[in-house]
Structure 1
Amino acid sequence: MTSRVQLPLAEAQRLRRAYGACAVVTGASDGIGRAVAMRLAEAGFELVLVARRLAVLDALADELAPQMRVRPFVISADLSRPDDVAGVAQQTAHLDVGLLVAAAGFGTSGPFVEGDLAAELDMIDVNCRALAQLTHLFGRRFAARRRGGIVLMSSLVAFQGVPRAANYAATKAFVQSLAEGLAPELRPLGVDVLASAPGPVMSGFGRRARMTIASGQTPDEVAVGTLKMLGRRTTVRPGFLAKALEASLMLLPRSGRAAMLARVMAGMTKTA
């Protein structure tokens, strides 16, 4: 398996020393989650791949298996259902999991009051409730073993309200705040927490969110940039684009950032 952006060998070794040899990756069927899974496989981790689409997960497991000591363990789960989330923890109870990458999530776009309420609530369930549930379940396990790592996927939009993506930005604000609060709580227990806040990413996310993303970061860039900072920071903006966009916004007041991103979102959703 090859990639344009590789996780350096020294970083792979550091991650295995810090967290052990087994990682759970949610949202592994596509986008950032898939890229993280591929990079961790190259780094020598045993993997638990979690997503809704079993056939896609099985195909990824078959693709990764030749380079791994153990074929990835696949769990088909709808993370909008609390029982399915609990099932992920139950099905991995026999494994010495030391790393959780909670990459599952999706977005919506357009005026909030014109959107589908069921979809908006489903997004809260997946992006917030399921993420908190998984973080609690695995965080307790990691604290008990006195080492572990948790990666939560935030976003550039987490730091201000964003018109035409109001609810999505709100879910990412929850993720960002949760990570910032948990990091100092869990650090004395040997558990590292990282919020990864990328900018636009060229993946299936845009199609589902009905956004036109003409340019952005690759999932590999986000995956590698995130993994390299786990254990070193509380928040990372992985890749040049995320850093450049943040630099262009950081001097504006919160209301100014919201206004700027409103114009960006209007362009990205004009055909929605």
Structure 2
Amino acid sequence: MSNIKLGSWQRRLRERYGSWAVVTGASSGIGRAIAFRLAEAGLNLVLVARSQAALEEMAEDLTAQHGIDVEVVRLDLALESAVETLAATTRDLDIGLLVAAAGFGTSGQFLHSRLEQEMEMLNVNCRSLLGLSWHFGRRFAKRGRGGIVLMSSIVGFQGMPFAAHYAATKAYVQTLAEALNVELAPLGVDAIASAPGPTNSSFAHRAGMQMGKALSPDEVAEATLKALGRQSTVLPGFLSKLLVYSLALLPRWARVRIMGSVMHGMTKHQQGKNLGVARVK
């Protein structure tokens, strides 16, 4: 264990969820930030991503800094066998927390996209997330406690022109988390949707989006973990709250058009080019 002074919310994480957590999309962005926060709290980690080198470097740093155990799983969650593979890998570990932070985003005009990539995004953002939530949800219910963190987005609260399918996948995540929060609570299992606004990570760059003011992954990580077990949805940061609440009273069609205008401004430099794609390593 490190000598970092823990806050009450960090102590609660270990007391509530036990000694091991699984973090997907752990090699970069929000997943990486959450992994470091969990390590500070003393949780052992199973780090899941496609980049073996990045995961191994993280594992070395986390073990040295915090004295925790770290398991590295190089895995592409777009594969149909991914959930089964991760379930088998973690069978003998006392997992108490799942953080499904792996993500795949596209931006630009829908008809200019490649169907193969859109199907791959569906597998990563929805299919694998569904399988992991089901598998670990059953494990957590059996042990009588656990937590599930699903990464939604403010784009999931309405349609989003110029990021149409990505927003649709986040709407799936949002509604699934809201329902699981109610269903699993009597079984001792917490579920939360974290719906950040624009976040300053490599995601936007790889998706071909240009953003101004944005959250840091650390801000999203701390707000999410603090809210786990206390809220069904968290909107990390002032900007996320402002964007959601300012649109909440408008009719849905108006929200779609406004958000479409925002996204069009972030992707207009793509006109005449290939669709932007962001994939967590």
State the match for 2:211 in structure 1.
Answer: 213
Q: Output one character per residue of 1:21-63: Cα deviation in whole Å (capped at 9) or x when no partner.
A: 1100000000000000011111111011000010110011111
SS in 2 for 1:170: helix
Counterparts in 2 of 1:256-271, with a 5 A limit? 256-271=254-269
Counterparts in 2 of 1:1-272, with a 5 A limit? 9-272=7-270
Amino acid at match of 1:254: R
In structure 1, C-alpha distance between the alignment counterparts of 2:239 and 2:11, rounded to whole Å: 27
Instruction: For residue 214 of structure 1, report the CA deviation from its aligned partner.
Output: 2.2
In structure 2, C-alpha distance between the alignment counterparts of 1:131 and 1:177, rounded to whole Å: 13
Instruction: For residue 8 of structure 1, report the CA deviation from its aligned partner.
Output: 5.5
Q: Which runs of 5+ in 1 are unaligned?
A: 1-5
- Say if 1:22 and 1:45, in contact at 8 Å, map to a contact too: yes
TM-score (norm 1): 0.96
Q: Output one character per residue of 1:103-134: Cα deviation in whole Å (capped at 9) or x when no partner.
A: 00121011111111111111000000000011
- Say if 2:26 and 2:47, in contact at 8 Å, map to a contact too: yes
Q: Which runs of 5+ in 2 are unaligned?
A: 271-281
Q: Output one character per residue of 1:88-112: Cα deviation in whole Å (capped at 9) or x when no partner.
A: 1110111000000000012101111
In structure 1, C-alpha distance between the alignment counterparts of 2:72 and 2:248, rounded to whole Å: 41
* Percent identity (aligned): 57
TM-score (norm 2): 0.93
SS in 2 for 1:98: strand
Cα RMSD over matched residues? 1.3
SS in 2 for 1:264: helix
In structure 2, C-alpha distance between the alignment counterparts of 1:70 and 1:208, rounded to whole Å: 32
Larger relative CO (CA 8 A, sep 6+): 1 or 2?
Answer: 2
- Say if 1:7 and 1:39, in contact at 8 Å, map to a contact too: no
